[in-house]
Amino acid sequence: MKRLDAQARRLQRRLSRRRKGSKRREKAKRHLAKVRRKIANKRQNWHHHVSRKLAGKAGTVAVEGLNVKGMTRSAKGTAEEPGTMVAQKAGTNRVILDTGWTALKGMLEYKAANVIVVPAMNTSRKCHECGAVEAANRRTRDDFGCLACGHAAHADLNAAKNIRDRALERLAAMNETSGAGVSARREAFALATSYDP
Ligand SMILES: [Zn+2]
């Protein structure tokens, strides 16, 4: 993906250098379109792979309601989730993450029995062990260390557990109001603890 992304940028520059209406420009245009199609296909394959894997592991999958518009607009992000976004921009999977979230979520929705979207607020700042919310808890992109209780974990894993809990709370509340029974609450929430792409 990184290689293709660099190639597309190189071809974009080449295209802009070539004279409008020229044969060489047309050729560069076709080449660029081909690379962009390749990128789109690769991304789609990856989404199918990940959503199939997740849906195979759990009937209910909890996802964060990320602000995708905000994510693509600026690398500095929102006041809510500054670290996450910058990290994604910097990562090698930048292209996939930036443009693919909505598509991936859509695939999950038809592959998994149940997709629950929960608010993203503080999921990466909150300590899953003691509940303390502190921006400095997230030391680096990958590293979570609670200033209150000392709990240390991979930042994504800590956040995933918060997302799972939030979804479970939501499910419980839904079951209480609808009286639909408790079975949904016992769904396997394997995502947070076993997800390994
Ligand atoms: Zn803690």
Eight-class DSSP state of 190: -
In the chain, the amino acid numbered 174 is M
User: If DSSP codes are grouped into helix, strand and coil, which group holds residue 106?
Assistant: helix
DSSP symbols for 38-93: HHHHHHHHHHHHHHHHHHHH-SEEEEEE--HHHHHH-SS--SSSHHHHHHHHHSTT
Cα(91) to ligand 1 centroid in Å equals 27
Cα(194) to ligand 1 centroid in Å equals 22
The strand pairing partners of 117, in sequence order, are 63
Closest CA to 108 of 67, 53, 69, 146: 53
Cα(35) to ligand 1 centroid in Å equals 46
Cα(85) to ligand 1 centroid in Å equals 23
**Span 129-145, pLDDT tens digits:** 999 999 999 988 889 99
Q: Residue 38, class by beta-carbon neighbours within 10 Å (0-12 exposed, 13-18 middle, 19+ buried)?
A: middle
The strand pairing partners of 63, in sequence order, are 117
Cα(144) to ligand 1 centroid in Å equals 10
pLDDT at 197: 39
pLDDT at 189: 42
pTM comes to: 0.64
- Does the pLDDT at position 81 exceed 80? no
Contact criterion met (CB below 8 Å) for 133 and 122: yes
pLDDT at 141: 84
Q: Give the separation between CA 1 and CA 7, rounded to whole angstroms.
A: 10
Per the prediction, the chain carries an average pLDDT of 78
- Does the pLDDT at position 73 exceed 70? no
Tell me the mean pLDDT in the region 101-114. 83
Helix orientation angle between 94-111 and 82-90, rounded to the nearest 10 degrees: 110
Segments making up each domain of the chain, as ranges: 59-194
**In which band, very low, low, confident or very high, does the pLDDT at 49 lie, cut at 50, 70 and 90?**
very high
